[in-house]
Amino acid sequence: MPSTWRSSPELFALVHQITHQLEQDLSEVPGSNGKDLASCGYTTICLLRESIQTISSIAQSSSVNEKVGLRARVVLQSLFSLADDSVNALPFHAVDRKWLRLYTDSSILQVIFDVVVLSNQVPTAAWAINAVERLDRTIIIAGALGHRRMDWVQALISLVQRLALPRIASTEQRPNKRRRLDVSARQKISYAASEIPTLNEPPSLPEYVEKFSDRPFILRGYISSRDSPMPRWPALDRWTSADYLFDQVGEGRVVPVEVGTSYDDENWGQTILPLRDFLHRAGYQVSSPTKLDGPPLYLAQYPLFNQFPQLERDIVLPDYNGIEINVWIGSGGGEIVSPAHTDPYFNCYAQLLGRKRVWLAPPSCSEHMQAYAGADSSEENDTLAQRYMTNTSTVPVLRSNVSGEDLQKAHPEYAKYVWPHSLEAVLEPGDVLVVPPKWWHAMRGEGEGVGWSVSMWY
């Protein structure tokens, strides 16, 4: 017989824990745990307190006064709408923390309000999908900001999935053998003057500081070879299976993706999609209710392990502090290009699935890379790229419709000052690329099937 919410003591214990902590946080306003919400205003604090008290009362009595329940639902939706509108009103870097905190708390409260109101009913899959998406958006948009909020969100997702979202039957067809790597493809460079240097073994720390801290290099097979000092990453095998991924993170999940070939294209955009739909479009053999035949989708520069911590155990991280880890997932076939740009960090870039073509140029070429914007840009007519992508070049490196030869003809300054210093290579699964700060780099997914990469900034 299907279970009701009330039949899950673990879920109601979590609801009690959340409401108790939220009440304590609000009682401390403007204390350390409540300072973000304090600046939302006295009325917002009062409405949050009222909502928490209503949820606690319903949870204890298992009965709902219709008028009280309706008011609580309207209040929570109003608080969420206030936060959502405030988050969307500005570029994300300019959004005040208080709105991210209100977005987080109002989202969590909406979910647990439904849990206690519907406690004697069998949860439907439709409600559960909406609840998991709301909680995922709390991570994606607001970072589940606040003391213990990330733990609550992850626990709620897991419990909702367990009670109402069983795994969808697999239709996956996995290859019987690993694809043999076409090593000769590494030599086929056409967008640069030279190949990126390859080291047979990682340098010692003194050697790295003395010789390699200001130049890029590749360690072939560093995370896959039996001869490597680094243990083989389990992700190289496990992440080839969509079944494995869904076994780890469950159904109903959503992820943020870029829509389009390159983030500096005029028709580029961003959206949040069901994980199942995205993986299907990226190249996995997985059932999807939505047919996505439009522009390519790219999960780019995203801290995936914050949302799906279950997957982090499939990689081997260096024992350093202060590393920022991002994941990149997309299709091959040259559909997706990261335009030439710079970053202010050292980048240790591991290729896990698929192949990726990489182009590099040193910081000394910067004045000839024709970056977006500048002193003569007009804010009124500037595109999004021109306003915010001042670290991105307008030279269309690695575009599939522009050959290396055509690129030099169309951009003589680039041909004269950048091309002689440019480097190129194709990364295979198991390879690691190390790039110093401020080096120009462009990337393009190659070959068939899905591509996964993990970058570690330090």
State the pairing for strand pair 423-427/450-457: unpaired
299 SS3 class: strand
b/e string for 359-398 if b means 16 or more Cβ within 10 A? bbbbeebbebbebbbeeeeeeeeeeebbeebebbbbbbbb
For the chain, 458 residues long, give each residue's pLDDT as a single digit of tens.
Answer: 456 667 788 888 999 999 999 999 888 766 666 678 888 899 999 999 999 999 999 988 877 788 888 999 999 999 999 999 999 998 888 999 999 999 999 999 999 999 988 877 878 999 999 999 999 999 999 999 999 999 999 999 999 999 899 888 776 655 444 444 455 445 578 899 999 999 999 999 999 999 999 999 999 999 998 888 899 999 999 999 999 999 999 999 999 999 999 988 888 899 999 999 999 999 998 877 776 678 899 999 999 999 999 999 999 987 777 889 999 999 988 889 999 999 999 999 999 999 999 999 999 999 999 998 753 555 555 555 566 678 999 999 999 888 999 999 999 999 999 999 999 999 999 999 999 999 999 999 998 889 999 999 98
127 and 201 in a single domain? The answer is no
Alpha-helix residue ranges (DSSP H) falling in 258-351 = 275-282, 304-307
279 and 359 in a single domain? The answer is yes
Q: Around Cβ 194, how many Cβ atoms within 10 Å? A: 13
Structural domains of the chain, count: 2
142 and 211 in a single domain? The answer is no
Q: Which residues are within 8 A (CB) of 31 and not within 5 positions of it... i.e. 6 or more apart?
A: 25
- Both structure tokens of 317: 């991280």
As a whole number of angstroms, the distance between CA 293 and CA 335 comes to 13
210 and 272 in a single domain? The answer is yes
148 and 195 in a single domain? The answer is no
Query: What CATH number does residue 309 fall under?
Result: 2.60.120.650
Residue 61 backbone dihedrals phi, psi, to 5 degrees: -100, -20
At CA 110, angle to CA 106 and CA 113, rounded to 5? 130
DSSP single-letter state for residue 371: B
Q: Does some domain include residue 133?
A: yes
Query: Final residue of a domain: which of 137, 164, 191?
Result: 164
As a whole number of angstroms, the distance between CA 225 and CA 241 comes to 21
131 and 211 in a single domain? The answer is no
Q: To which H or E segment does residue 127 belong?
A: helix 125-142
Cβ atoms 120, 2 nearer than 8 A: no
As a whole number of angstroms, the distance between CA 205 and CA 208 comes to 5
Q: Does some domain include residue 174?
A: no
99 and 143 in a single domain? The answer is yes
* DSSP-based helix, strand, coil % in the chain, nearest 5: 45, 15, 40
77 and 151 in a single domain? The answer is yes
188 and 148 in a single domain? The answer is no
Range of the domain at 377: 183-457
Q: Does some domain include residue 63?
A: yes
363 and 308 in a single domain? The answer is yes
Q: Does some domain include residue 172?
A: no
Query: Final residue of a domain: which of 136, 164, 192?
Result: 164
29 and 70 in a single domain? The answer is yes
217 and 150 in a single domain? The answer is no
Q: Does some domain include residue 383?
A: yes
Query: Final residue of a domain: which of 164, 194, 215?
Result: 164
* Among candidate residues 336, 268, 327, the one with its CA nearest the CA of residue 302: 327
Q: Does some domain include residue 177?
A: no
b/e string for 284-305 if b means 16 or more Cβ within 10 A? bbbebeeeeeebbbbbbebebb
Q: Does some domain include residue 442?
A: yes
As a whole number of angstroms, the distance between CA 116 and CA 65 comes to 12
Q: Does some domain include residue 141?
A: yes
- Both structure tokens of 265: 């294209």
E-strand ranges in 139-233 read 194-195, 198-199, 217-219
